Amino acid sequence: MAPVIDIADARALVLQHCGVLPPVSMPFRAAIGTVLAAEVVAGEDVPPFANSAVDGYAVRAESVQAAPVELPVVAEVAAGAFTDHVLQPGEAIRIMTGAPVPDGTDAVVMVEDTERLDGGTRVRVLKPVDAGSAVRAAGDDVRTGTALYPAGTLITPAVAAVLASVNAAVVSVVPRVRVAVLSTGDELVDDGGPLAPGQIRESNRTMLHGLVHDAGCEAVDLGIVRDDEAVLETVLREAARTCDAIVTSGGVSMGDYDVVKAVLSRIAEMHWMQIAIKPAKPFAFGLLDDGAGRRVPVFGLPGNPVSSLVSFELLARPALRQMAGMPQPARPWVSAVADHGLGRRPDGKVHYQRVVAAFGDDGRVHVQSVGAQGSHQLAATSMANAIAELPDGDGVAAGGTVRTMLLWVV
């Protein structure tokens, strides 16, 4: 039997074998959610030319110091247009937001501070403006040649938009991690028909598919695999050939039909673990050769749905995000207030209770148990948005603090 190990040691072992994937080139829009593999240097100024921040009138500030004053409107320039008229003292040019300011301009008066006269051929400027007012200089946002983003930057939608603005059309990124997800067990069905005696409806794959996707990876659904060694071996080898990581559910404990264990022991370099935690004590991690020398991480999660979720969160998620080069692979952990006692008995294990976390009026995160904590009771756990860590002992009293991993905050 595998020795019992601490969660910290299990996680360290996993992370040590899950290196960042080699970079690929990708158009910036497709790259949202990935991480830059190389620095991006701005190849262009943003904005590319001095332009107006408002709809109004381009002037020389000196021409309107004595406002209210009337000026002739000698030209008009819309966004996307251009005028080669060089603005003279005592003149105004009608201008729209984003239009290039004509040469000779040093300020724009916003339309709200003007009155249109004579069908637009003249304007009354009601207030003086300072030089530079409402003019956005070329390069005000980004200057050509500046180091915009270092390698390791997560490409958020806003970062992708900045890449678009400097025409960094293709960027070098760590690719999305392709993760094969499969369930094992002869009892599992997903055809929607009536259940035969002993059958249950397969549910972990749906959850793991979603969790993999939420981790920023691409999930590849390999379906339910029967408890049949030959079939499972074929599916696993194919998964190693086509994916960057494999997540299996079921078949990693001590049962007679734990075929994942039988097959992976034979074809992969595996670590069969009994982790001193509850739930999710059995866990397997290893590396499966893809047939060409690439070693693909395999995460063997237990079949009990709650255990599957907890071991994915504690072990697989940070590893997959590390492979994706994420600057912050781990979920945030906070010191939360237990709104009521979170009970447990000493048993040599760290317990991970599923809780609902919310910010209280004191600005701290408060947690309450979701109720049923059995490893088969996913319905209660499905309401959790956080996992509270209870060290070996008697639990945490009401009002006490508990280290808590936030899945999301409502």
| Residues 287 and 296 sit within 8 Å (Cβ to Cβ) | yes
Query: Cα 267–281–367 angle (5° rounding)?
Result: 135
**Interface with Mg ion includes 56 (CB under 5 A)?**
no
Which residues, numbered 175-204, are part of the site for Mg ion (CB under 5 A)? 185
- Pick between residue 123 and residue 208 the one whose CB is nearest to Mg ion: 208
Among ligand AMP, Mg ion, none, what does residue 128 contact (CB within 5–8 Å per kind)?
Answer: none
Distances (CA, A) of 362 to 65, 345, 359, 370, 404: 52, 30, 8, 22, 17
Q: Within 10 A of 292 (CB to CB), how many other CB atoms are there? A: 7
Q: What is the DSSP string of 238-291?
A: HHHHH-SEEEEES--SSSTT-HHHHHHHHHSEEEEEEESEES--EEEEEEEE-S
**Interface with ligand AMP includes 188 (CB under 6 A)?**
yes
* E strand or H helix at 299: strand 295-301
- The footprint of ligand AMP on this chain (CB under 6 A) covers a number of residues equal to 18
| Residues 81 and 95 sit within 8 Å (Cβ to Cβ) | no
Among 203, 274, 377, 385, binds ligand AMP (CB under 6 A): 203
Q: With the C-alpha atoms ordered 6, 259, 226, 241, is the resulting torsion angle positive or negative?
A: positive
| Residues 311 and 283 sit within 8 Å (Cβ to Cβ) | yes
- Pick between residue 71 and residue 224 the one whose CB is nearest to ligand AMP: 224
**Interface with ligand AMP includes 304 (CB under 6 A)?**
yes
x-or-dash pattern for Mg ion, window 269-308, by CB under 5 A? ----------------------------------x-----
Q: Which of 209, 216, 220, 212 is nearest to 176 (CA)?
A: 216
Which residues are within 8 A (CB) of 161 and not within 5 positions of it... i.e. 6 or more apart? none
| Residues 92 and 71 sit within 8 Å (Cβ to Cβ) | yes
Among 51, 63, 83, 249, binds ligand AMP (CB under 6 A): 249
Q: Which two tokens stand for residue 29?
A: 């829009």
Name the CA dihedral angle for 52, 56, 60, 63, rounded to a multiple of 10 degrees.
Answer: -170
Q: Which residue is nearest to ligand AMP (CB)?
A: 303
CB of 143 to ligand AMP, least distance (A): 54
Among ligand AMP, Mg ion, none, what does residue 249 contact (CB within 5–8 Å per kind)?
Answer: ligand AMP
CB of 379 to Mg ion, least distance (A): 20
**Interface with ligand AMP includes 204 (CB under 6 A)?**
yes
Among ligand AMP, Mg ion, none, what does residue 360 contact (CB within 5–8 Å per kind)?
Answer: none
Among 55, 202, 244, 313, binds ligand AMP (CB under 6 A): 202
Which residues, numbered 226-265, are part of the site for Mg ion (CB under 5 A)? 250-251
Which residues, numbered 263-302, are part of the site for ligand AMP (CB under 6 A)? 302
- Pick between residue 100 and residue 251 the one whose CB is nearest to Mg ion: 251
Amino acid occupying residue 359: F
Among Mg ion, ligand AMP, none, what does residue 253 contact (CB within 5–8 Å per kind)?
Answer: ligand AMP
**Interface with ligand AMP includes 379 (CB under 6 A)?**
no
Among 253, 311, 322, 369, binds ligand AMP (CB under 6 A): 253
- Pick between residue 56 and residue 251 the one whose CB is nearest to ligand AMP: 251
Residue reference for tokens 């299996």 = 248
The Cα 68–Cα 79 span in angstroms is 27
Binding site for Mg ion (CB under 5 A): 185, 250-251, 303
Binding site for ligand AMP (CB under 6 A): 183, 185, 187-188, 200, 202-205, 249-251, 253, 255, 302-305
